[in-house]
Amino acid sequence: YVHVGFAVDTPDGLMVPVIRNVDQKSLLQLAGEAAELAEKARTKKLSPDAMQGACFTISSLGHIGGTGFTPIVNAPEVAILG
């Protein structure tokens, strides 16, 4: 399985929803699911299960304008891209 988390900035802090089985979905499906999960995170409708099980996470400070940061890998994930 390939489950990928992605960081979402919310008024309550950073949340990491997980898109499941990304290896079996098209780019269009991934974009739609990411938008849906991000909206749920921002509106506090994301379940705890929707934030568990990632093997990899993607994070970005692009919206803040930062020049660098050190993302932290949360076990049991194998990596984080930031």
Quote the pTM value: 0.84
Quote the CA–CA distance of 18 and 57 in Å, as a whole number: 8
First to last CA, the chain: 22
Residue-by-residue pLDDT tens, the chain, 82 positions: 799 999 898 988 889 999 999 999 999 999 999 999 999 999 999 999 999 999 988 887 666 666 676 777 877 888 877 7
CB of 1 within 8 A of CB of 52? no
